[in-house]
Structure 1
Amino acid sequence: MAPVEPKPCEETWGGSLEKGRRALLGAHLLPSRYSKISTMGPGQALMWGISAKPINTIQYGPDCPEDSRHRVLVTKTTPPVLLLELNAQATFNMMDPDTSQDILFGMDAVIQLLKSPKTMANGRPLAYVIQGSGPHFCPGGNPNPKLYPGHIALTVNQYAGYLPFIRCREMAIPGVCALHGSLVGGGVAYSLNNPVRFADSKASACFGNLSRGAVPGMVLSTNIPQALGLHGALDIYLTDSTYSTSACVKAGYLHGVQASIAAVKQEALKQARRLGQSPLGMRIVGIKPELDVERFGIEGWCIELGARTEGVFRNVGGKSRAEKEAEAKDEAAKQTAVDAKPKQEDWNEWRRRQIQPKKRPKRRAKRPPSAG
Structure 2
Amino acid sequence: MTQELVSLEMAGSVALLGLNRPAKRNAISDALLEALEVRLVEAQRAARAIILHGHGPCFCAGLDLSEHRARTAEEVFHHSRGWHRVFRALREGPIPAIAAVHGACVGGGLELAAACHIRVADATAVFALPEGTRGIFVGGGATVHVARLIGTARMTDMMLTGRTLDAAAAERAGLVTYLEPAGEALTRACEVAARVAQAAPLTVAGVLHALPRIQDMSESDGLFVESLMAALAQTAPEAERRLAAFLEKRAPKAIQTLPSGD
Matched, 1:85 2:21: no
Unpaired stretches in structure 1, ≥5 consecutive residues: 1-57, 61-67, 115-124, 147-152, 293-372
Number of aligned positions between the proteins: 205
Aligned partner of 1:270 in structure 2 is 191
Judge conservation of contact 1:96–1:161 (CA < 8 Å) in 2. no
Q: 1:213 aligns with which of 135, 140, 155?
A: 135
CA contact (8 A) 2:7 2:17 kept: yes
| Aligned mates of 1:180, 1:171 — CA distance in 2 | 24
**Residue type of the alignment partner of 1:185:** G
Secondary structure class of the residue paired with 2:151: helix
The TM-score with structure 1 as length reference comes to 0.50
Matching of residue 71 in structure 1 with residue 7 in structure 2: yes
Matched to 2:178, the amino acid is G
Deviation at 1:282, TM superposition (A): 4.8
Task: Deviation per CA, 1:73-109: give whole Å up to 9, x if none.
Answer: 2222xxx012121111121110111212222322343
Match of 1:201 in 2: 123
Compute the displacement of 1:159 (Å).
3.0
Q: Verify the 8 A CA contact 1:70 1:85 in the aligned structure 2.
A: yes
Paired position in structure 1 for 2:208: 285
Deviation for aligned residue 1:246: 1.1
C-alpha contact 1:194 1:288 (8 A) present in aligned 2: no
Measured in 1, the distance between the counterparts of 2:112 and 2:212 equals 13
Name the amino acid aligned to 2:10: V
Residue in structure 2 matched with residue 352 of structure 1 by the alignment:
none
Structure 1 contact 193–288 (Cα < 8 Å) conserved? no
Asked whether the equivalents of residues 129 and 268 of structure 1 are also in contact (C-alpha less than 8 Å), the reply is yes
**CA separation in 1, counterparts of 2:191 and 2:175?**
20
SS in 1 for 2:162: coil
Alpha-carbon distance in structure 2 between the residues aligned to 1:229 and 1:270: 29
Aligned partners of 1:283, 1:267: CA distance in 2, in Å? 24
Is the contact made by 2:26 and 2:54 (CA closer than 8 Å) also made in structure 1? yes
**C-alpha distance in 2 between matches for 1:89 and 1:216:** 23
SS of corresponding position for 1:98: helix
- SS of equivalent to 1:257: strand
Report the counterpart of residue 37 of structure 2 in structure 1: 104
Q: Which of the numbers 174, 183, 188 marks the counterpart of 2:105?
A: 183
SS at match of 1:99: helix
1:219: Cα distance to partner? 1.8
Q: Which amino acid aligns with 1:241?
A: R
Contact 2:83 2:140 in 1 (8 A): no
Which residue does 2:88 correspond to in 1? 166
Please tell me the residue identity of whatever aligns with 1:103: L
CA drift of 1:289 comes to 4.2
Distance 2:205 2:83 in 1: 29
For 2:252, the equivalent position in structure 1 comes to none
Percent sequence identity over aligned pairs: 22
Supply the distance in 2 between the matched residues of 1:171 and 1:126 (Cα, whole angstroms).
Answer: 11
Q: Partner of 2:145 in structure 1? A: 223
Name which of structure 1's ranges 161-170 and 89-98 shifts more when overlaid on structure 2. 161-170
**Structure 1: which amino acid aligns with 2:197?**
G
Partners of 1:81 and 1:163 lie apart in 2 by 23
Instruction: State the 1:281 CA deviation.
Output: 4.9
Q: Deviations over 1:297-339 (max 9, x none)?
A: xxxxxxxxxxxxxxxxxxxxxxxxxxxxxxxxxxxxxxxxxxx
More helix, by proportion:
2
| CA positional deviation for 1:161 | 4.9
CA distance 1:278–1:107, shift in 2 (3 Å): closer
- Structure whose CA Rg is larger: 1
